[in-house]
Amino acid sequence: MKKIKTLEELNRLKEKSTELIYPHKTKILVGMATCGLVSGAQEVFQAIKEEIKEKKLDIILARTGCMGFCQKEPLVDIIKPGWPRISYCEMNSKKAKEAIRLLAQGKLKKEWILAKLEKEECLIEETVRSYSLNGLPEEIERIPLYEDIPFYKKQIKIAMRNCGFIDPENITEYIARAGYSSLYKVLTQYKPEKIIEEITKAGLRGRGGAGFPTGKKWKFGHETPGETKYIICNADEGDPGAYMDRSVLEGDPHSVLEGMIIGAYAIGANKGYIYARNEYPLAIKSMGVAIEQAQEYGFLGKNIFGSGFDFTIEVSRGAGAFVCGEETALIASMEGERGMPRFRPPYPANHGLWGCPTVINNVETWANVPVIIAKGASWYSKIGTKKSKGTKIFSLVGKVKNTGLVEVPMGITLKEIVYDIGGGTSTGKKLKAVQIGGPSGGCLPASLMDTVIDYEEVTGTGAIMGSGGLVVMDEDTCMVDVARYFLNFTQSESCGKCTFCRIGTKRMLEILSRITEGKGRQGDIELLEELAEKVKANALCGLGQTAPNPVLTTLKYFREEYEAHIHQKRCPAAKCRQLITYKINPEKCTGCGACKRVCFVDAISGEKKKAHIIDDEKCVRCGSCMEACKFEAIEVE
C-alpha cells in the first residue's frame, strides 16, 4: 500500500471507499462489540454467513461496533438500496437464518425489527442518520438514529459517530466517513497554537472525570520546553458498570488515533501510548489492528502527509488497578513501578512520563478532537451549556428498561435520560435514586432528576460527572447498602499510599457494614460525616478525594434510612439480611410446597395443602422462597 501524502490521494480513497459504507447491493452489519458477543452475536454472524453461502446470495456481510442499544443485542442491520436501514434486534442463529431467507424474497419479519412499522410492506421513513465529519449539517439539530425509537430520539452522536456504522478493522471505511481529513487539515494549514486555540474555543473538557479544560492542558504541554514529549490515551476504564471507552475503542479506534495525532502535533510530541486495562482484550486487539493500518497508510510513522511531522503510537497494557485511572498513577504504572499517585505539582503536562512533558486525555476526549477540527470551534460550542460544551456518553445501567450506551448533549436533564431514553424503571416501581459518576460519584434522589448534565451543576449536588456511569435504582434499593457497596470497591482499590485514604475509607466501611448488619450505634452518622470530610479534604489523589461521595450524598438525601437502620434496627427497603424477617401469610399460602423445596437450610415446614411456616432461627434470608412462591404468600418484615 502506497502511503498517502496528498489531499487528492486521500479524497480519491475516500470516494472509492464510499461504496463500502453505502453499497449498491445489500449489506448486513452484525454488532460484534463485547456486548453483542456475550449475547450471541458470533453465532448469529456465522449463521448469516452460512445462509448467504448456501443460497449463493450477493450480499456483503460485515462486522461493526456497539450500536448503543445493548438491551436489544444481538443487533443485525440490513442496508439495501431503495430501503431504509433496518435493525433486527434480539437475534439468534435460527432467527438470523430465517431473516436471510426472507430477505432473499424481498420480505421482512417486522416483529423482529427495532422500530415499529406503520406499514407491513415497508419500513419507516428515512431511518438511520449519523454524524460524519463531512456530512454534518451546519445548524445544530438532534438527529436520532431512528425517528420513532425513544432510546435514540434525544441522542447526538459525535464521539460515537461511527460506532455501529463502520467495520472498525477496515481503515478505508473510516476514511469513507472523512477519517483523517482533520489530520491533513491541521498538518497542512494549522500551526500548533492554532489547534490549541480551536480546542480551547470549542470548550472541550476532559471526559475522564473532573472535566479539566482540554485546550488549557494542551497549552501547558505545548509551552513546557523539552526535546521529548508524550501523548497518552487513558483507557483504564474501571468503574463498575461503565463501558463507554471500551465501546469506542472497539467500534471506532481510528477516531481516537486521529485525535491523538492531532494532539501530538499541537504539543510537539513524537510518541504516544494507549494505556488500556488488560481486561479489554477486544479493545486492545482493535487498537492494535488500527495502529498497523494507520502505519501502512502513512498516518503514523515518519513524515506524515509529507509535513515533516513524525509520530508513533503503541498500546501499553495495565493490570486493571482502578487507581491507575489517575494520571500520575497511570504514569508510574507505565514506568514499571507500582501504580501509585504522586504529589502534584508538578503536573504531567510539565513533568510526566519519564520526567518529560506529557498530555493525558481519555478515549472519549480524543474521539471528539477530529470533529472539532472538521466543523470548527463555533459549531461545537453551540452544543451544550455555557460551561459544558458538546456531548457526553453514559452507560445507562441498573433497574432501567433500556440499558445501553447513550450519547447526549450537555444540558439534558437526568429525568430525560432515565425516562425519555431509558424508558423508566425496569421493575415498574418508583425511581428512588440515580448513581452518577461511578463508585466515586454520588447518589441523587428522584427529587433531583431535573438536574442538568453540566459539570458544575452535577458537582453542586455533591456528586461528580465522572467518566459516565449512570446506575438507576428503584424503591427497593437500600441506600445505606449502596453506599457500603461503592465504598467497599474504592477501599479495596486504594493503593494505600496516603493515610487518609488507606485508613479513613477502611474505618468508614467498617461503620457502614456494622449499620447494615443491625449493629449501628449512636453517633455513627456523625462519625461517618467527620471521616468522610477529612478523607475528602486530605487524600492525595482523586480516588481518595471522591471516595466519600456515595456516603456523603446518601447521608444528605437519605438520612432517614441511616436512622432507621441504627435506631429502629430496620431496613426500610427490606434488603439488609440481618434486619429483615421472612414470614408466610397463612391466608395466601396454598401449601403447594414450592418454597419448601428450594429452601436449602430446611427452614420451612408444613403439610401439603396447608399453610407453611418459616423458622426464623434457621432462615438465612436468601430470598429463594419468595422467588419460588407464585401466590405472593411470603412477605418481608
pLDDT at residue 386, rounded to an integer? 93
Structural contact between residues 508 and 531, judged by C-beta atoms closer than 8 angstroms: yes
pLDDT at residue 115, rounded to an integer? 63
Report the chain's mean pLDDT, rounded to a whole number: 90
pLDDT at residue 138, rounded to an integer? 37
pLDDT at residue 81, rounded to an integer? 84
What whole-number percentage of the chain has pLDDT above 90? 73
Residue type, 106: G
Residue 197, classified by CB atoms within 10 Å of its CB into exposed (0-12), middle (13-18) or buried (19+), is middle
DSSP H or E run through 394? strand 391-398
Structural contact between residues 626 and 598, judged by C-beta atoms closer than 8 angstroms: no
Under DSSP, the state recorded for 440 is G
Residue type, 472: V
For residue 576, give the C-alpha cell. 439488609
Segments of the chain with pLDDT less than 70: 1, 115-148
Domains of the chain, earliest start first: 25-80+86-126 (3.40.30.10), 171-380 (3.40.50.11540), 480-567 (1.20.1440.230), 581-636 (3.30.70.20)
pLDDT at residue 154, rounded to an integer? 86
Burial of 278-299, coded b for 16+ CB within 10 Å and e otherwise, reads: eebebbbbbbebbbebbeebbb
Q: What is the pLDDT of residues 510-536, one digit of tens each?
A: 999 999 999 999 999 999 999 999 999
Kindly report each contact of residues 136-139 with a partner whose C-beta sits within 8 Å and lies 24 or more positions away, as own/partner. 136/371, 136/374, 136/375, 136/379, 138/379
Separation of alpha carbons 328 and 322, rounded Å: 13
Structural contact between residues 343 and 540, judged by C-beta atoms closer than 8 angstroms: yes
pTM: 0.90
pLDDT at residue 213, rounded to an integer? 95
Helices (H), 578-622: 594-598
pLDDT at residue 148, rounded to an integer? 61
Q: At what angle do helices 253-267 and 214-223 cross, to 10 degrees?
A: 40
Closest among 406, 359, 388, 392 to 151, alpha carbons compared: 406
Residue 22, classified by CB atoms within 10 Å of its CB into exposed (0-12), middle (13-18) or buried (19+), is exposed
Separation of alpha carbons 277 and 299, rounded Å: 25
Residue 426, classified by CB atoms within 10 Å of its CB into exposed (0-12), middle (13-18) or buried (19+), is middle
Separation of alpha carbons 474 and 159, rounded Å: 30
pLDDT at residue 134, rounded to an integer? 46
Q: Residue 9: what are its φ and ψ, rounded to 5°? A: -65, -40
Would you tell me how many other CB atoms lie within 10 Å of the CB of residue 506?
15
